[in-house]
Chains A and B, each alone.
Chain A
Amino acid sequence: MYEFSPVAPRVARVRKRYRDTKPKVCIERFKLVTEFYQNHPTLPPMIKRARNLLNLCERMPVVVHEDEFIVGELTSTYHGSALFPEYAIGWIFDEIRSGELLNRTLDPYDMDQEDIDYVMQFEDFWSKNDLSRLTDDALPPEFHDIVGNGIVTFGDKGTGAGPVGHFCANYDKAIRKGFSAIKREAQEKIDLMKGRLYGEDAQREQFYYAVTIVCDAAITLSKRYAAECRGQAAECGDEGRRAELIEMAEALDWIMQNPARTYHEAVQCLYLYQIVLSLDGNLHGLTFGRVDQYLNSFYESDLAAGRITRERAQEILDLFCLKVAEMNKIWPSFATMAAGGYTSGQLITVGGIKKDGTDATNEVTYMLLECARRLALHDPPMSLRIHEGTPDKLWDIAVETTRACGGVPTFESDKVIIPALLDRGLSLESARNYCLIGCVEPGGCGDDWPANGGPGQETFWRIPGAVLLAINNGENPMPRPDGQPQRQTGLPTGYLYDMKSFDEVLEATKKQIEHFIDWHVSFCSVREYVARHHMPLPVVSATMDGCLESGKDVMYGGAKYNGTGFAGVGIGTATDSLVAIKYMVFDRKLCTAREFYDALMANWEGHETFRQRIMKEIPHYGNDLDYPDEIAEWISKVITEKVRSCTGPRGNHWSAGLYPVATHVAWGKMTWATPDGRRTGEPLSDGISPIQCMDTSGPAATLKSALRIDHRHSANGTLLNMKFHPKALEGGGKDKLIALIKTYFDLDGMELQFNIASSEMLRDAQLHPDAHKDLVVRIAGFSAYFVELHKGLQDDVIRRTELDLA
Chain B
Amino acid sequence: MSSDPAGTIYDIQGFSVQDGPGIRTTVFLKGCPLRCPWCHSPESRRFDIQLSWQSRRCIGTAVCGLCLVSCPRGAIVPAEGSQSTDTEDGLQLIRVDWDTCDDCGLCAAECPAGALSMWGKRYTVSEVVDRALRDRPFFEKSGGGVTISGGEPLSQAEFTLALLRALKENGLHTALDTTGFAPWAVVEKALPHVDLFLLDLKNMDGRAHNAAVGVPNQPILENARGIAAAGGKMQIRIPVIPRFNDSGGNLRALGKFVAELGEAVTLVQLLPYHALGVPKWERIKHDGPILEATAPSDKKIGELKAILEEYSLTIQVH
Do chains A and B interact in one complex?
Answer: yes
Which of A453-461, A535-543, A606-614, A651-659 binds B?
A606-614
Highest count of chain B CB atoms <10 Å: which of A608, A610, A747: A608
* Known interface pairs A700-B135, A700-B138, A731-B318; A740-B59 also in contact (CB < 8 Å): no
- Candidates B17, B64, B112, B141; contact of A733 at CB < 8 Å: B17
Kindly identify, within residues 580 to 613 of chain A, every residue whose CB is under 8 Å from any CB belonging to chain B. 608-610, 612-613
Tell me the complex Cα distance, A732–B138, Å: 15
Residue of A nearest to B26 (CB): A698
Check: B16 CB closer than 8 A to any chain A CB: yes
Kindly identify, within residues 2 to 53 of chain B, every residue whose CB is under 8 Å from any CB belonging to chain A. 13-18, 21-23, 25
Q: Which residues of B contact A805 (CB under 8 A)?
A: 15-18
Tell me the complex Cα distance, A747–B113, Å: 35
Residue of B nearest to A731 (CB): B316
Tell me the complex Cα distance, A578–B18, Å: 36
Q: Which residues of B contact A612 (CB under 8 A)?
A: 59, 64, 112-114
Q: Which residues of B contact A735 (CB under 8 A)?
A: 142
Kindly identify, within residues 127 to 174 of chain B, every residue whose CB is under 8 Å from any CB belonging to chain A. 134-135, 137-138, 140-144
Check A698–B112 contact: CB distance below 8 A.
no
Min CB–CB distance A624 → chain B (angstroms)? 6
Check: B63 CB closer than 8 A to any chain A CB: yes
Q: Which residues of A contact B143 (CB under 8 A)?
A: 739
* Known interface pairs A616-B112, A731-B318; A609-B141 also in contact (CB < 8 Å): no
Check: B66 CB closer than 8 A to any chain A CB: yes
Kindly identify, within residues 732 to 747 of chain A, every residue whose CB is under 8 Å from any CB belonging to chain B. 732-733, 735-736, 739-740, 742-743, 746-747
Tell me the complex Cα distance, A427–B113, Å: 54
Tell me the complex Cα distance, A613–B59, Å: 11
Residue of A nearest to B269 (CB): A731
- Candidates A609, A728, A739; contact of B22 at CB < 8 Å: A739
Check A740–B14 contact: CB distance below 8 A.
no
Check A728–B14 contact: CB distance below 8 A.
no
Check: A701 CB closer than 8 A to any chain B CB: yes
Tell me the complex Cα distance, A732–B21, Å: 8
Check A806–B14 contact: CB distance below 8 A.
no
Residue of B nearest to A806 (CB): B18
Check B63–A740 contact: CB distance below 8 A.
no
Check A613–B138 contact: CB distance below 8 A.
no
Task: Kindly supply a per-residue 1/0 record for chain A positions 735-767, scoring 1 wherever the CB is within 8 Å of any chain B CB and 0 otherwise.
Answer: 110011011001100000000000000000000
Min CB–CB distance A293 → chain B (angstroms)? 28
Check A743–B318 contact: CB distance below 8 A.
no
- How many interface contacts (CB-CB < 8 Å) are there between A and B? 83
- Candidates B18, B64, B316, B318; contact of A609 at CB < 8 Å: B64
- Candidates A609, A701, A732; contact of B59 at CB < 8 Å: A609
Tell me the complex Cα distance, A253–B267, Å: 63
Residue of B nearest to A729 (CB): B17
Residue of B nearest to A699 (CB): B15
Main secondary structure, interface of A, reads helix
* Known interface pairs A699-B14, A805-B18; A736-B63 also in contact (CB < 8 Å): no
- Candidates B14, B18, B112, B114; contact of A610 at CB < 8 Å: B112
Residue of A nearest to B143 (CB): A739
Check: A704 CB closer than 8 A to any chain B CB: yes
Check A698–B63 contact: CB distance below 8 A.
no
Check A698–B14 contact: CB distance below 8 A.
yes
Min CB–CB distance A741 → chain B (angstroms)? 9
Q: Which residues of A contact B21 (CB under 8 A)?
A: 732
- Candidates A624, A704, A739, A747; contact of B23 at CB < 8 Å: A739
* Known interface pairs A612-B112, A733-B17; A739-B138 also in contact (CB < 8 Å): yes
Residue of B nearest to A739 (CB): B142
Q: Which residues of A contact B17 (CB under 8 A)?
A: 728, 731-733, 736, 805
Check B15–A803 contact: CB distance below 8 A.
yes
Check A743–B112 contact: CB distance below 8 A.
no
Residue of B nearest to A624 (CB): B134
Residue of B nearest to A747 (CB): B137
Check: A697 CB closer than 8 A to any chain B CB: yes
Min CB–CB distance B277 → chain A (angstroms)? 12
Check A609–B63 contact: CB distance below 8 A.
yes
Tell me the complex Cα distance, A609–B21, Å: 43
Tell me the complex Cα distance, A728–B23, Å: 12
Q: Which residues of B contact A613 (CB under 8 A)?
A: 112
Check A616–B113 contact: CB distance below 8 A.
yes
Task: Kindly supply a per-residue 1/0 record for chain A positions 698-713, scoring 1 wherever the CB is within 8 Å of any chain B CB and 0 otherwise.
Answer: 1111001000000000
Check B15–A700 contact: CB distance below 8 A.
yes
Check A740–B23 contact: CB distance below 8 A.
yes
Check B18–A698 contact: CB distance below 8 A.
no
Tell me the complex Cα distance, A426–B137, Å: 31
Min CB–CB distance A276 → chain B (angstroms)? 45
Tell me the complex Cα distance, A609–B135, Å: 35
Check A697–B141 contact: CB distance below 8 A.
no
Task: Kindly supply a per-residue 1/0 record for chain A positions 673-702, scoring 1 wherever the CB is within 8 Å of any chain B CB and 0 otherwise.
Answer: 000000000000000000000000111110
Q: Which residues of A contact B23 (CB under 8 A)?
A: 700, 736, 739-740, 743
* Known interface pairs A616-B113, A698-B16; A609-B142 also in contact (CB < 8 Å): no
Residue of A nearest to B135 (CB): A700
Tell me the complex Cα distance, A587–B174, Å: 38
Check B14–A609 contact: CB distance below 8 A.
no
- Candidates B16, B113, B137; contact of A746 at CB < 8 Å: B137
Tell me the complex Cα distance, A701–B316, Å: 29
Tell me the complex Cα distance, A473–B49, Å: 47
Check B137–A740 contact: CB distance below 8 A.
no
Kindly identify, within residues 547 to 569 of chain A, every residue whose CB is under 8 Å from any CB belonging to chain B. none
Tell me the complex Cα distance, A698–B112, Å: 23
Min CB–CB distance B141 → chain A (angstroms)? 4
Q: Which residues of B contact A731 (CB under 8 A)?
A: 17-18, 316, 318
Kindly identify, within residues 607 to 648 of chain A, every residue whose CB is under 8 Å from any CB belonging to chain B. 608-610, 612-613, 616, 624
Highest count of chain A CB atoms <10 Å: which of B16, B17, B18: B17
* Known interface pairs A736-B142, A743-B142; A608-B59 also in contact (CB < 8 Å): yes
Q: Which residues of A contact B14 (CB under 8 A)?
A: 624, 697-701
Q: Which residues of B contact A701 (CB under 8 A)?
A: 14-15, 134-135
* Known interface pairs A624-B134, A699-B15, A701-B14; A742-B141 also in contact (CB < 8 Å): yes
Highest count of chain A CB atoms <10 Å: which of B21, B23, B134: B23
Q: Which residues of A contact B134 (CB under 8 A)?
A: 624, 701, 704
Check A743–B141 contact: CB distance below 8 A.
yes
Min CB–CB distance A556 → chain B (angstroms)? 46
Tell me the complex Cα distance, A721–B53, Å: 31
Tell me the complex Cα distance, A696–B137, Å: 19
Task: Kindly supply a per-residue 1/0 record for chain A positions 773-795, scoring 1 wherever the CB is within 8 Å of any chain B CB and 0 otherwise.
Answer: 00000000000000000000000
Residue of B nearest to A734 (CB): B17
Residue of A nearest to B276 (CB): A806
* Known interface pairs A742-B141, A743-B138, A743-B142; A698-B13 also in contact (CB < 8 Å): yes
Tell me the complex Cα distance, A464–B31, Å: 44
Min CB–CB distance B140 → chain A (angstroms)? 8
Min CB–CB distance A744 → chain B (angstroms)? 9
Min CB–CB distance A246 → chain B (angstroms)? 53
Tell me the complex Cα distance, A746–B140, Å: 11
Check A609–B112 contact: CB distance below 8 A.
yes
Tell me the complex Cα distance, A558–B135, Å: 47
Q: Which residues of A contact B135 (CB under 8 A)?
A: 700-701, 704
Residue of B nearest to A803 (CB): B15
20 CB contacts below 8 A, A to B, read A608-B59, A608-B64, A609-B59, A609-B112, A609-B113, A610-B112, A698-B14, A698-B16, A700-B23, A704-B135, A731-B17, A732-B21, A736-B22, A736-B144, A740-B15, A740-B142, A742-B141, A743-B141, A805-B16, A806-B18
| 9 further interface pairs, Cβ-Cβ under 8 Å (given A700-B15, A746-B137, A805-B17) | A608-B63, A609-B63, A609-B113, A610-B112, A624-B14, A698-B15, A742-B141, A747-B137, A805-B18
